[in-house]
Structure 1
């Protein structure tokens, strides 16, 4: 039987002890009625351990961390995802987490609706909770970083990925699979908003050495494009 996995809120430097606090502790204590001596899998600082419950309280559940266990690393993929309708965006964030993405940057594109751009800074904490819950559900050991929303120009200036790929509806020949051949280092993938990137944004990507690539002849919704791109990237890696 697969042991239930938790992602610790706090741990000591030596990773011999870790704690769940807040909602996680309350759920483990009240709903699951955890008791000292029970064994779970606990992720602390990106490392997976077999862990034993030593103290149970509604505010904190404390574990002793035992041996470190093997775990899968995140995909070396930084997803630049334009902000669009929040329900669709949050579904994409959840699925990108399940598929192993390492980092997500919400991008305020020219075609991002004004009210969504204004609300996005208050929404980002919800997005971080989504990736936490999705990481636990998919049994990940690394929680993706979710950056604060930022303009395209400012985010592109800080991109350090060795392979940079813009998924573009205007590209007809260069496939994502072809663009990933011989990739160097980390990979950055950019997915646009409803209506796509503007010509000015496309030109900005080009000046920053992003390769334009296609996912095929069909026009995909942004969330569908995210899943397809990450699935292709994962299979190639």
Structure 2
């Protein structure tokens, strides 16, 4: 059954109804061709509802809530992608795939080679666009829980945030002599509930970045002999961690 993510403003619990307007109407009724009588699930504020369209008008539609459904939690360990800010177009590809791959949170990080190093260089309009990408990807992948996107911050702030939750980290580094299997085994033995995966921007992490990570007990490793694009490295690393730690 198809599942769509909606803004809470379209939910009317008193009347047990959902209003489909603007982008949601276009996507659900015009693109996906749902009509009067169609049933599907909607996700609103991490709650799921089975709904049925009862009225379709020229620019909007009304659906009634048939029942509230239990949301399935993401598998543990929860995956935190700590990404040094790449080019915006690259990040949007990573963001879309991260939703599909079950990444729990993305932490945007400023390091030596980041495309953007200051949070004020990213507009509110850009963040709003990224929220729409998350919402659209959740609908397409039938994902139940939101991906949390943390604004761009310096490495001290990001690592402090993760350390407060005792989240261990591993960092992909092209010049590392460590293998993925050697750094993931201790985490597998610990049965950790969260894991942070650090990926560099175009140009990768510098030796200074890696030295800082090591001082914070973040283990570096190599993803192989080939130099990978940012989006490839992210998908490859997430896949490896899911395979090793989520019992796929």
TM-score, normalised on structure 2? Answer: 0.80
Distance 1:55 1:105, change over 3 A: farther
Stretch of structure 1 that moved more, 225-234 or 57-66: 57-66
Which residue pairs with 1:214 in the alignment? 222
Residues 19 and 60 in structure 2, CA contact (< 8 A), matched pair in contact too:
no
Q: Which moved more, 1:44-53 or 1:162-171?
A: 44-53
Give how far 1:102 is off: 0.8
The match for 1:111 among 110, 113, 129 is 113
Cα deviation for residue 64 of structure 1 reads 0.8
For residues 124 and 179 of structure 1, the distance between their equivalents in structure 2, rounded to whole angstroms, comes to 36
- Where in structure 2 are the equivalents of 1:1-237 lying within 5 Å? 3-10=1-8, 11=11, 17-29=17-29, 34-56=34-56, 58=59, 61-68=62-69, 71=72, 73=74, 76-114=78-116, 119-122=121-124, 123-159=126-162, 160-175=165-180, 177-178=184-185, 180-182=187-189, 183-236=191-244, 237=246
Q: Residue 70 and residue 106 in structure 1: after superposition, are their counterparts in 2 closer, same or farther (change >3 A)?
A: closer
1:81, distance to aligned residue in structure 2 (A): 0.8
**C-alpha deviation, 1:79, in angstroms:** 0.8
Higher relative contact order structure (alpha carbons within 8 Å, sequence separation ≥ 6): 2
Stretch moving more, 225-234 or 175-184: 175-184
**Counterpart-to-counterpart distance in 2, 1:114 and 1:31:** 35
Give 1:38 deviation, angstroms: 2.6
Change (3 A) 1:115 1:94: same
Question: What is the Cα deviation at residue 99 of structure 1?
Answer: 0.5
Tell me, in whole angstroms, the C-alpha distance in 2 between the residues paired with 1:31 and 1:175. 42
Q: In 2, distance between residues paired with 1:94 and 1:225?
A: 15
Report the Cα offset of residue 24 of structure 1. 0.5
Change (3 A) 1:111 1:48: same
Listed one character per residue, the Cα deviations across residues 70-99 of structure 1 (whole Å, up to 9, x for unaligned) are 646256111111111222221111111111
Is the CA contact (8 Å cut-off) linking 1:25 and 1:59 kept in structure 2? Answer: yes
Uncovered stretches (5+) of structure 2, i.e. residues with no partner? none
CA 1:179/1:189 → structure 2, altered by over 3 Å: closer, same or farther? Answer: farther
Tell me the alpha carbon deviations over residues 145-169 of structure 1, each in whole angstroms, 9 at most, x when there is no partner: 1121122222111112432111222
User: If the length of structure 1 is used for normalisation, what is the TM-score?
Assistant: 0.83
- In structure 1, C-alpha distance between the alignment counterparts of 2:28 and 2:226, rounded to whole Å: 45
Partner of 2:157: helix, strand, or coil?
helix
Alignment gaps of 5+ in structure 1: none
Across the two proteins, how many residue pairs are aligned to each other? 235
User: What does the per-residue CA deviation read over 1:136-191, in whole Å, with 9 as the maximum and x for residues that have no partner?
Assistant: 11110112011211222221111124321112223222315435422422111110
